[in-house]
A = this chain, B = another copy of it.
Amino acid sequence: MSTSDDLHKKKMATKKAVKDARIAQATEERGVLILLKGNGKGKSSSAIGTMARALGHGKRCAVIQFIKGRNETGEYRFFRDQDNLDWFIMGQGFTWETQDKAQDIEAAQKAWALAEKLLSDDTYDLLVFDEMSYMFKYEYLDVEPVIAALKARPKMQSVIITGRTMATPIQDIADTISVVQDERHAFRQGVKAQAGIEF
């Protein structure tokens, strides 16, 4: 073995020891609340990717889309027939598409009534509340009952909430927060949004 290889081995052994020690310290087993926020591409896709992971381990999942896009999405087409998964499209469209506040509020409240039901059902291992954060930004939903239901949910149930901006009280009780930042986007360089990438 060369000196460089030997050095590499030593460096990696040290790195492994540090990582193993950290792993040994994390012993608590419970469901987690994950927030995916920020203005970058990849929040909803990250949530559904994690869901695919959970489905692969035989977990039962549900998705509630709080906002419906204009197209039938590829993810919905792909996942709608999967076992162990319920997918609910509840929103009426982006709020600048509907331009109707009363209708948006009604849709938000229906979506929340369903979400609240799932949050008390321990047969669900993972819930994805996609684009829920807009409901607080536009004041279509009160945050207090949402916090109460999240806190009272079954111990092993995990929840992922996506959306650009997150209400502070939800951030306060989250276990994991990832911020997806837009450093560059093809769209701004004139590339059309395309099936299989953007929707």
Contacts and interface: CB of A to CB of B under 8 A. Distances in A.
A52 B26 contact: no
A117 interface: no
A186 B179 contact: no
Contacts of A100: 9
A161 B182 CA distance: 15
Copies of chain A in the complex: 2
Interface in A74-99: 74-79, 95-99
A29 B178 contact: no
A56 to B, nearest CB: 3
Interface residues of A, number: 82
Contacts of A158: 196-197
Interface string A39-61: 01111111111111111110100
A178 B182 contact: yes
Given A19-B96, A73-B56, A47 B50 contact: no
Contact of A52 (B5, B27, B52): B52
Given A53-B197, A56-B196, A57-B77, 19 more contacts: A12-B95, A16-B97, A19-B96, A26-B191, A27-B190, A40-B180, A42-B178, A45-B50, A50-B196, A52-B74, A53-B75, A54-B197, A56-B74, A56-B77, A57-B196, A174-B184, A175-B191, A178-B181, A179-B180
Interface of A: 4-5, 8-9, 12-13, 15-16, 19, 22-23, 25-30, 32, 34, 36, 38, 40-57, 59, 73-79, 95-102, 125-126, 158, 174-187, 189-197, 199
Q: Lowest 4 CB-CB distances: which A-B pairs, in order?
A: A45-B49, A56-B74, A56-B78, A49-B49
